[in-house]
Structure 1
Amino acid sequence: MWTEPLDQAASVLIVLGIAIVGGFAALFLLRARHGAIAERMKLNLEKHQDYFNYLSASIGSSEALLPPPGKLSLPELRAIQSKLLEWIETIGGEHREKLTALCRDLGLVELERQRLRSPWPGIRMEAVYHLGVMRAPECTDELLKLLEGREGMESTAFVIGRAAAKCASSLEELRTLLLLLTERHPQAHQLIADMLASSALDPAPLYTELLNREDDEALLTVALIGLSGRNKRAAFHTLDRLVLSEHREVRIKAAKILLQYTRLLPLERIGELIRHPDWEIRAAAVKAVGEQQLEFYLDALVGGLEDEQWWVRFYSAKSLSRLGPAGFEALCAAAAAAEQEESREAAWEAVHEELDRAAADSSKEVQLIPYYNRLAYIYRRKLGETRRGLQAEPARISS
């Protein structure tokens, strides 16, 4: 009886040993298989090097690219596909269109289309990726159906979504894609906008249309991200309305785009944005004032130096330094008069950065030296001491 525990322990050790040996054997076989596949791929690429040279020489011609002569085995076809996909990802325009047409002529699109029906998720995702690279519009519906299923709820949805965006041939297909993604992943705003940006179509008209969907925060946010940096005046009045949205993220993004059109905004409207309750909007507004050099808001920028938010103070100081002599003088005065340490730091940092730029720009030297001396005078009057660094800097600038 006392030997039973030993027998049980021995049995457990034997099972564990077999499992470990089996694991190492499987790992060795997988590694050997991978090495064999890689070696076969290398040999097939070398075998068809003359064909790749033909493609390189003929891609700029007006004629369609021809498939290689003779019948190709599946490994040979895979090797040629790997080279074509590599080229498609690195070039654009007509050259890419010719390569995607060649993929279709070689049967690669249909081959990957069949792999979409594989029971193995890994094979399906590889097929999805390949179809996206080949920009196969005939597969867009199948990719959208994949998104409607279980895979649309998982992280694989973003692989499928990017492929569908590349394959889409109409704004209606992009709209369906956008609705599916925002429904299943309502927080992935930036990622969804990036996916739609990979399409050959311009999604801006779709985004402009979606700005009227004020009840859907996810759609609005994606549309605003997509429109950022685009010159779309048609959406100007809609953006102005969205600044009043109940959704914080929508308000902020709408205001940032709206501030790209400061020349179209009434002066009092910009002032309202500078005083907006959301600090992100205040920061964007004072930043835009400096970028557009709107001297009318000089006093508002000085007031921004006392803001409770660091970014508002930072951009207020930066913008003052961009408003020429008047702005620089106001910045110096504010730096010396500020009661809050945070405000003084923001102002002085901007002062020294502007002076460093002046030192590197000979056209500004004569203009800024008097203001630098004035800065030293204000500092002396305010703090009752002489700053040696400030006295040395004018000599360095004027030398």
Structure 2
Amino acid sequence: MFQHVTVAIYFVYACLGLIGLGIAILFYMKLKYLATLKKTEQYRLKHQDYFRFIQSHLHEDSDLPVPPGKLTALERRVIQDKFAEWIEQFKGEIRNRVVELCDKAGFVKDELEQLDSLFFGRRVEAAYRLGNMRAAEAVPRLLQMLRKQSYSPLTIILGRAIAKSAKQEEQLKEMLELMLRHGKPIHNLVADVLLETDLDSSKLLLKLLEDGNTDFVKVALVAMWGQAVPEVIPALDRLVGAEEKDVRAEAVKLYLSSNPVLKDETIKQLMSDNNWEIRAAIAKSLGSLHAAGSIPLLRNAMRDENWWVRNNSAESLAKLGETGFEILCETALRGSGVERETALYHIEKVMNEGTDHDAVDQMVSFNKKRLLYDRYFGVAERKPVRQVAAVGGDYSA
């Protein structure tokens, strides 16, 4: 019995020793981190004059000098981080001069050597820094790492580094293929990575839209948002009829964002599509396009099984002047079920927003809608009473 107690006591002492050792290691790491921060700030101040000199000569044709003197590893890292910060801030020829200075100072060579490190963290950090320095010579190595890499956060880091550094479209296409080969739904993220490139993105996106790889098309459609590229309209016109549902939906939404002149037959076809996202997108756009001829389609769409389609249709009707607003009033008075509730919601919304109009034409339009409102619901009754919530309990969206 006493032997077991002795073993237990020794075990407790061992545990206490390990705990003490762990606490000592944590304190050491904390102190080392604070010392590094202090040293980093000292080096920033030490090389402040050098940084000012480089900045003042970035617009000149003369060669930029490398950092002076014999530098410690941390000192080089401080200067390298400053150069990387400038590369992110500057564009064009000024950025290129800083990139050349990074190569001339040996920073790119140092990070290339770190790609062979036995430590995973150092390899990740090296890939990240090579991308920040736009190191074109690192792209083949980074692509090689991406080929061997299973999907993980490192996939995104490598892809972004390649996109920043690549000087050839073929390298970007290979990067896209390697990132998307795992079948993950990361097209939005990959599109964001792709737009980091310094190459002509509009030309590249047009090629991707015409590519036979469906994943490339999805990435291009996402990346096109917010970019005015008239050359892609023919490709979008073709993709509107694509067989794949999500490609067709993204193409339709992007096509509508370009404010096209839609034919009545095209509107009718899109409003009857079996994908609710397409029906909702076209219903929303008809109000912005002021397509008064589509009022019957919007009226029928208020009976749609999907809440987004019904809501966007009612919203567009409210934007189509007195005629559209009168359709909403008729639906609220004589309709039933979810279409009536949707109409009531948007009627109340229009009437509540009426006092916010400052322009004369907006006030005139609102007064006309007020007369229609009073005709259907009476002057004394300030608003139609809804029996249930506007969404009608439909969660199909």
TM-score if structure 2 supplies the norm length? 0.87
Shift of 1:199: 0.9
Among 153, 156, 170, the alignment partner of 1:155 is 153
Shift of 1:135: 0.8
The aligned runs of 1:165-314 (5 Å cut-off) are 165-213=163-211, 216-261=213-258, 263=260, 265-314=262-311
For 1:352 and 1:163, locate their aligned partners in 2 and report how far apart those are by CA, in whole Å: 53
Q: Which amino acid aligns with 2:246?
A: E
Cα pair distance change 1:274/1:27, threshold 3 Å: same
Shift of 1:304: 2.3
Cα pair distance change 1:93/1:185, threshold 3 Å: farther
**Once the two structures are superposed, what CA deviation does each residue of 1:99-155 show, in whole Å capped at 9, x if it has no partner?**
2222122111111111111111111111111111111111111111110113x4222
For 2:46 and 2:235, locate their aligned partners in 1 and report how far apart those are by CA, in whole Å: 59
Q: Which amino acid aligns with 2:325?
A: F
For 1:42 and 1:261, locate their aligned partners in 2 and report how far apart those are by CA, in whole Å: 50
For 2:183 and 2:352, locate their aligned partners in 1 and report how far apart those are by CA, in whole Å: 43
Of 281-290 and 341-350, the range deviating more from structure 2: 341-350
**CA-atom RMSD, angstroms?**
2.5
The aligned runs of 1:1-399 (5 Å cut-off) are 2-150=1-149, 152-213=150-211, 216-261=213-258, 263=260, 265-340=262-337, 341-352=340-351, 355-357=354-356, 359-380=357-378, 386-388=380-382
CA contact (8 A) 1:171 1:203 kept: no
For 1:236 and 1:370, locate their aligned partners in 2 and report how far apart those are by CA, in whole Å: 39
Of 114-123 and 342-351, the range deviating more from structure 2: 342-351
Shift of 1:262: 5.6
Of 19-28 and 319-328, the range deviating more from structure 2: 319-328
Q: Secondary structure at the match of 1:89?
A: helix
Cα pair distance change 1:149/1:71, threshold 3 Å: same
Of 270-279 and 362-371, the range deviating more from structure 2: 362-371
Of 126-135 and 229-238, the range deviating more from structure 2: 229-238
- Unaligned runs of at least 5 residues, structure 2: 385-397
Cα pair distance change 1:389/1:197, threshold 3 Å: same
Cα pair distance change 1:12/1:217, threshold 3 Å: farther
Cα pair distance change 1:136/1:107, threshold 3 Å: same
Shift of 1:194: 0.6
Shift of 1:295: 1.5
**Once the two structures are superposed, what CA deviation does each residue of 1:206-248 show, in whole Å capped at 9, x if it has no partner?**
443344555x543332232123344445544544444444432
For 2:227 and 2:336, locate their aligned partners in 1 and report how far apart those are by CA, in whole Å: 41
Q: Which amino acid aligns with 2:69?
A: G
Q: Which amino acid aligns with 1:360?
A: D
4+ residue stretches of structure 1 with deviation over 6 A? Answer: none
Question: Size of the alignment, in residue pairs?
Answer: 382
Cα pair distance change 1:321/1:66, threshold 3 Å: farther
**Once the two structures are superposed, what CA deviation does each residue of 1:234-265 show, in whole Å capped at 9, x if it has no partner?**
54454444444443222211221232456354
Cα pair distance change 1:241/1:284, threshold 3 Å: same
Cα pair distance change 1:95/1:192, threshold 3 Å: same
- Unaligned runs of at least 5 residues, structure 1: 391-399
Q: Secondary structure at the match of 2:260?
A: helix
For 2:53 and 2:253, locate their aligned partners in 1 and report how far apart those are by CA, in whole Å: 50
For 2:238 and 2:306, locate their aligned partners in 1 and report how far apart those are by CA, in whole Å: 25
Q: Which amino acid aligns with 1:285?
A: I
Q: Which amino acid aligns with 2:271?
A: I
Of 123-132 and 332-341, the range deviating more from structure 2: 332-341
For 1:334 and 1:234, locate their aligned partners in 2 and report how far apart those are by CA, in whole Å: 42
Q: Which amino acid aligns with 1:189?
A: H
Larger relative helix fraction: 1
CA contact (8 A) 1:305 1:347 kept: no
Cα pair distance change 1:185/1:20, threshold 3 Å: farther
Q: Which amino acid aligns with 2:68?
A: P
Q: RCO higher in 1 or 2 (8 Å CA, sep ≥ 6)?
A: 2
Identical columns (%): 32
Q: Which amino acid aligns with 1:263?
A: P
Shift of 1:327: 2.8
Of 109-118 and 81-90, the range deviating more from structure 2: 81-90
